[in-house]
């Protein structure tokens, strides 16, 4: 039985800032200082709300968008513009996870959503592998009720762990969701069951999400053996997880994409 929010311990995290540089992540500690490693640069964002054309998007290998590319009132036309814009980006791989404003995407017809998003890979409870890096994407989050118009992919909070989060595989490098886990850059609106699955079983190297606009940035989940970071590198002697809220839209201003340099063998 999952803990209620008021009983659930808030995660111990440390905030990180990347500024204009990339966050450097190694798959495991054996690789630090090793030469000739494989490398992918991820350029990541979320919650652009039909303003992606105003964002300076760095080049890289993998473009990641974790949902709410559109506004719910105009989502049907916005999604077409978004797909066309992404098609012009130079990144070799382009990934998209839906958000609650994407009401034009039918949760029961992921194949149709993929056709609409023809210039990227649409991830709905799907595992993919890019040059040896495993990523899993899922758009769900605890539902807020039918009174909310921007409520795409809201799910019964009592069933979301068994029906959705339990299906996340444990041998992945990156987890992509729209909603945040409880207590980590979530604005007190994260999912406790998602946090539990991530830290108890899945343990991806990186979890990317958005949804909460005022919580943009990166934090490192602190295990009991956690040590200090140096030069934005995750300490290779721990099994910590990097959590990143990618929400670009910050009311009167737009934030910047997050760049992650991922090294592996």
For the domain made up of 13-264, give the CATH fold: Purple Acid Phosphatase; chain A, domain 2 (3.60.21)
pLDDT at 41: 97
pLDDT score of 229: 32
pLDDT at residue 7, as a whole number = 47
Element (H, E) at 207: strand 206-209
Q: Give the pLDDT score at 251.
A: 73
List the domain boundaries for the chain: 13-264
Contact 95, 46 (CB under 8 A): no
> pTM (2 decimals)?
0.88
In tens, the pLDDT along 86-121 reads 999 999 999 999 999 999 999 999 999 999 999 999
Q: What is the reported pLDDT for 188?
A: 80
pLDDT at residue 61, rounded to an integer: 98
pLDDT, residue 252, reads 77
* Torsion sign, CA atoms 241, 177, 122, 166: positive
What's the Rg (C-alpha) of the chain?
17
Q: Are 133 and 40 in contact (CB under 8 A)?
A: yes
The pLDDT of residue 147: 66
pLDDT at 12: 42
pLDDT at 44: 98
Residues β-bridged to residue 135: 128, 174
What residue ranges of the chain have pLDDT lower than 50? 1-20, 223-237
| Cα distances (angstroms) measured from residue 32 to each of 57, 60, 262, 265 | 28, 22, 12, 11
**pLDDT (0 to 100) of residue 146:** 66
Token pair belonging to 86: 């992404």
Question: What is the reported pLDDT for 235?
Answer: 47
């Amino acid at each position: 039985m999952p803990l209620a929010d008021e009983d659930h311990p808030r995660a111990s995290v440390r905030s990180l800032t990347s500024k204009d540089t990339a966050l450097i992540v190694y798959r495991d500690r054996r690789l630090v200082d090793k030469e000739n490693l494989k490398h992918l640069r991820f350029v990541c964002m979320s919650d652009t709300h039909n303003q992606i054309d105003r964002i300076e998007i760095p080049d890289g290998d993998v473009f990641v968008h974790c949902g709410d590319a559109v506004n719910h009132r105009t989502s049907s036309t916005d999604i077409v513009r978004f797909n066309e814009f992404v098609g012009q980006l130079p990144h070799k791989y382009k990934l998209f996870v839906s958000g609650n404003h994407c009401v034009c995407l039918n949760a029961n017809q992921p194949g149709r959503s993929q056709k609409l998003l023809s210039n990227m890979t649409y991830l709905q409870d799907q595992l993919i592998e890019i040059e040896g890096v495993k990523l899993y994407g899922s758009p769900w989050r605890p539902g807020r009720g039918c009174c909310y118009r921007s409520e795409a992919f809201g799910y019964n909070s009592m069933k979301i762990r068994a029906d959705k989060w339990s299906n996340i595989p444990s041998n992945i490098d990156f987890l992509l969701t729209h909603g945040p886990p409880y207590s980590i850059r979530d604005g007190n609106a994260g999912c406790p069951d998602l946090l539990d699955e991530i830290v108890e079983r899945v343990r991806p190297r990186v979890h990317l999400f958005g949804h909460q606009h005022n919580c943009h940035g990166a934090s490192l989940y602190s295990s009991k053996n956690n040590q200090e970071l140096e030069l934005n590198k995750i300490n290779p002697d721990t099994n910590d997880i990097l959590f990143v809220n990618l929400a670009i839209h910050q009311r009167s201003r737009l934030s910047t994409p997050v760049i992650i340099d991922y090294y592996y063998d």
